[in-house]
A and B are shown apart, each in its own frame.
Chain A
Amino acid sequence: MTKFQLRQYVNAFKNGDSDAFRVLYEETKSRAYYTILLIVKNETIAEDLLQDTYMKVVDKIHTYESGTHFAAWVNTIARNLALNHFARAKKETLQDVQTDEMLFGRSESTAENESYLHQLMEHLDGESQEIVIRHVVLKEKHKTIAQAMHKPLGTITWKYNEAIKRLKKVANDEEI
């Protein structure tokens, strides 16, 4: 969807069109969700914060400036909510926050409830999961990922290629 098309849907949503809101939600939810997940590293919490994000989008839509990129605006809301949660959790030490925690660890739900992506990603370590999500979903360049994760560019590129090879093998072995 082009920026101009997105703008039309934003204007319709501002006029109360909930169909337009659905379109905007579908267009932006993936980036918002994985932005949150990268920070909080817990799928249950990420889901709650995703809901909070769109509640805030509804509340704050009147403050959105039409010259700016709508998806980036939603992402900023998502990131800020996640960072606030992360800071609160660290302070309250209610959650054992580790920087190398898996994005897709073993969840409390049964395996059959896990998404297909979750089942695939369990075969990677936490760092590789993050690199794949940043590059494939968030479209970050390897250089940006290296800076964000404080790793050499060569390490990121190598880990990414190895992760993709592993995921392909798992997908082929499981015939999915």
Chain B
Amino acid sequence: MKKFEKNLERWAKESVPDVLDKVLEQKGMPTPQKPPRSRRLGRLVPLLMLPIIAVLALMLTPSEDLEASSVYLDFETAIEIQVDEENRILDLIGDNVSGQAFVQILKENPDWENADLDEFLPVLFETAQMRGYIQAESPVLVGTKADEMARKDELKAMVIARMQNLPMQARPFGEIYDPASESMEASENPEMTGRMSMMRWTLIDQIMDADSTYTLETLEPLSLGELIALSQSLDVDVNMHPRMRP
């Protein structure tokens, strides 16, 4: 959002009449003394610690060795979400520089670990929008990896369906694309680890296959939107999904 519009939003918030004290008085609730920020947070810390304690307890409790799968999302910020067979989050990994920074932000909330993927996706996109890690209408690449093809396809279908059904405020992105699975695995390149997502590399690899005049050096700086447009012009399969279910 541009600077003036951000200012407008702030002025709008400042213009909201304050009815809090009247509500508290009428409900017989104590009027907060507005303690210093550190004390205010301090009172909540014991409550906020509860999820951390719960997660630690789970980690220390012997559990079945659940098979891990991965969901890859790239909206210029690229991340990998590792999940177990029940789609509970095991780990978050940044696949490029901004992805690594974004993962640090997501991990600020201890609730991320063992969170349900279905519940986590709207939080992920809302956070990305709030913190400026996704541009409005940005395309999103979605990919999955699992030991079995059926699991991989099921996970991808679930993630895409969830993204298509997100409430508007958690759906800042444009169209959803998933590069062809077979190509993705075939073109995995360890040298791209931490530099770009596997899906972006897949697109680049397929463009170079389709037209050898393109090189990694010329394609790497392009935006996702530009890569997708180029792929489509060269008849490379990118599997577009509309961002809203019809």
Inter-chain contacts of A118 with B (CB < 8 A): 15
Q: How far is the CA of A116 from the CA of B20 in the complex (A)?
A: 21
Q: How far is the CA of A120 from the CA of B19 in the complex (A)?
A: 23
B38 in contact (CB, < 8 A): no
Q: CB-nearest residue of chain B relative to A72?
A: B167
Q: CB-nearest residue of chain A relative to B122?
A: A3
Q: How large is the interface on B (under 10, 10 to 19, 20 to 34, 35 or more residues)?
A: 35 or more
The majority secondary structure among interface residues of chain B is helix
With known contacts A12-B47, A58-B29, A141-B168, A120–B111 Cβ distance under 8 A = no
A168 → chain B, closest Cβ, in Å? 5
Inter-chain contacts of B44 with A (CB < 8 A): 8-9, 12, 17, 19-20
A80 → chain B, closest Cβ, in Å? 17
Instruction: Report which of B20, B119, B169 forms a contact with A25, defined as CB distance below 8 A.
Output: B20
B30 in contact (CB, < 8 A): yes
Interface centre among B16, B29, B30, B43 (most CB of A within 10 A): B16
Are B109 and A2 touching (Cβ within 8 A)? yes
Q: Which of B100-123 contact A (CB under 8 A)?
A: 109, 111-112, 115, 119, 122-123
Inter-chain contacts of A50 with B (CB < 8 A): 16-17, 19
Q: How far is the CA of A106 from the CA of B149 in the complex (A)?
A: 65
Q: Tell me which of A83-91, A93-101, A131-139 binds B.
A: A131-139
Instruction: Report which of B15, B16, B27, B109 forms a contact with A116, defined as CB distance below 8 A.
Output: B15
Instruction: Report which of B1, B15, B119 forms a contact with A117, defined as CB distance below 8 A.
Output: B15
Are B109 and A34 touching (Cβ within 8 A)? no
B32 in contact (CB, < 8 A): yes
Inter-chain contacts of B9 with A (CB < 8 A): 136-137
With known contacts A19-B32, A72-B167, A120–B11 Cβ distance under 8 A = yes
Q: Which of B53-98 contact A (CB under 8 A)?
A: none
Q: How large is the interface on A (under 10, 10 to 19, 20 to 34, 35 or more residues)?
A: 35 or more
With known contacts A18-B29, A69-B167, A136-B9, A33–B109 Cβ distance under 8 A = no
B245 in contact (CB, < 8 A): no
Q: How far is the CA of A133 from the CA of B17 in the complex (A)?
A: 16
With known contacts A3-B126, A117-B12, A17–B43 Cβ distance under 8 A = yes
Instruction: Report which of B19, B30, B115 forms a contact with A18, defined as CB distance below 8 A.
Output: B30
A63 in contact (CB, < 8 A): no
Write the residues of chain B forming the contact surface with A, with a CB cutoff of 8 angstroms. Answer: 1, 4-5, 8-9, 11-17, 19-20, 22-24, 26-27, 29-32, 35, 40, 43-44, 47-48, 51, 109, 111-112, 115, 119, 122-123, 126-127, 167-169
Write the residues of chain A forming the contact surface with B, with a CB cutoff of 8 angstroms. Answer: 2-5, 7-9, 11-12, 15, 17-22, 25, 29-30, 33-34, 43, 47, 50-51, 54-55, 58, 67, 69, 72, 115-118, 120, 132-133, 136-137, 139-141, 144, 164, 167-168, 171
